[in-house]
Amino acid sequence: MVCSTAMLVIGLLICTFVLCSSENVLPQHEKFVLKFRRGGMVCTNEQSGLTCTSPRAHHDQGTVSSHRNIFSSERDGDYALGFERASDDSWFLSIYAYHPSNGTAGSSIWRASSVDGSEVQVPSNSSLVFLQSGNLELRGSEGGLQWTPNTWGLGVTELVFFFRGSSKSAGGNLILFDSANQLVWQSMRPLKTNELRLGMASRSDIVCTSGESSGMDCNPALEFPMNPSRGTGNHRNVISYNGDGKYALGIERLADTATFFLSIYIWNQSSGTATGPSIWRASHGRSSIPVAVDEHAIVAFRRNGAFELRDHSNKLLWTTGQTGASELGFNFDTGDLFLYNREGSIIWRSGGEASLQYVALFVSPTTEYPVPKLNPGSRALAMA
């Protein structure tokens, strides 16, 4: 009896940790999915290599001494999540492009960092814990908590790591979703390269007015690299990059109408057109209905940290509020707009305001620009 109970328990344990949990992780072509309701997982970076309590998506352990993959794919150049050696006995938790054919990795596009922005380093024998409650914890060799996205209690049900760009997200992004498929946390942060930083507190208000045919006239005038490409009558750039295929912020005309939005879109300077639909439009709260403005829209960056949209009569239509932000950041690679406080923490972001739109960021980037019907009160203006 004791024996059979023990057998049953052992059987259940085997089922829990080996057989049944093999459904816990779903390696797919573009992404790796972990469903928390099927159990947690612990991956420990031992001296000899990485071990996980549950099957992983990795196809290559990362036998090289510099990288130990937790999730990786079989294709060269796909992104991997893993431990990256910082020094002899010190590791980062990182995301990097990985090449299984020769076992090498590219430079990291993300590293777990503490609130002050410093990158966390942990010794050998540290673990990344995937808690069934939907939180992640990086614990040092002595078990102390070194890093967490702090999603405990936020209803996270699924982790998705995108090996490469897909219809839902950018490659190399680690996302935690709740049961309503809302984005709760993601690793993607502004890249330091190709990010414009504008000191707001340190200068006077910048007020930009949309002209008759193209471009925005700003007072004081915007400096490079803020506005080298004025745009066209349909896309009047406020912030743009001196090149093709980068995101721009500007006033966008709703096709062939007198309705305009404050939007973020990919701008092609050579052709003078936007590529694909806008990835973000100023809207109230989490609403997906963008705020409409007339042709002579005013966009202002205030000293008090407010980023505003006004109509031709200077009536305030939309604002981030007096956030006290000291800097504005715009990432030309991701199209993310940020407001930072003095400590460098993000206090407002374009994606955070309507995270579903952010997830929709990479939906059909090659489709034609949609011509949404003007249908106030409906969600018809939500992005494709």
Ligand X SMILES: *[C@@H]1O[C@H](CO)[C@@H](O)[C@H](O)[C@H]1NC(C)=O
Question: Contact residues for ligand X (CB under 6 A)?
Answer: 47, 76, 89, 99, 101-102, 104, 123-125, 141, 244-245, 268, 270-271, 275
Query: In angstroms, rounded to a whole number, what is the distance separating the alpha carbons of residues 83 and 316?
Result: 48
Give me 380's structure tokens: 């018809």
Nearest CB to ligand X, comparing residues 102 and 202: 102
Q: How far is the CB of 48 from ligand X (least distance, A)?
A: 9
Instruction: Extract the tokens encoding 139.
Output: 């614990």
Nearest to 260 by CA among 286, 232, 241, 287: 232
Q: Give how far the C-alpha of residue 182 lies from the chain's centroid of Cα atoms, to the nearest Å.
A: 13
Provide the minimum distance between the beta carbon of 139 and ligand X in the complex, in angstroms, as a whole number.
13
Give 305's Cβ-side CA count (13 Å radius).
16
Nearer to ligand X, 124 or 166 (CB): 124
Please, what's the b/e burial string for 177-199 (b: 16 or more CB within 10 A of its CB; e: otherwise)? bbeeeebbbbbbbbeeebbbebe
CB of 365 to ligand X, least distance (A): 10
Q: In what order do the strands lie in the sheet with 127-130?
A: 49-52, 41-46, 127-130, 136-139, 145-147
Whichever of 75 and 296 has its CB closer to ligand X, that residue is 75
What's the min distance (Å) between Cβ of 122 and ligand X? 10
Q: Nearest 10 degrees: CA dihedral of 267, 268, 271, 273? A: -20
Shortest Å, Cβ 142 to ligand X: 9
Locate 3 and state its tokens. Answer: 């024996």
Helix (H, G, I), strand (E, B) or coil at 132: coil
Least distance in angstroms from the C-beta of 75 to ligand X: 10
Tell the smallest beta-carbon distance from residue 270 to ligand X (Å): 4
125 vs 259 by CB, closer to ligand X: 125
How far is the CA of 4 from the CAs of 13, 14, 20, 35, 178, in angstroms?
14, 15, 21, 31, 39
Output 165 or 321, the one with its CB closest to ligand X. Answer: 165
Q: Residues with Cβ < 8 Å from 116, sequence gap 6 or more?
A: 343, 344
Q: Of 199 and 245, which has the nearer Cβ to ligand X?
A: 245
In the complex with ligand X, the residue whose CB is nearer, 43 or 176, is: 43
267: left (phi over 0), alpha (psi -120 to 50) or beta: beta
Minimum gap (Å) between residue 269 Cβ and ligand X? 8
> Which CB atom, from 4 or from 271, has the smaller least distance to ligand X?
271
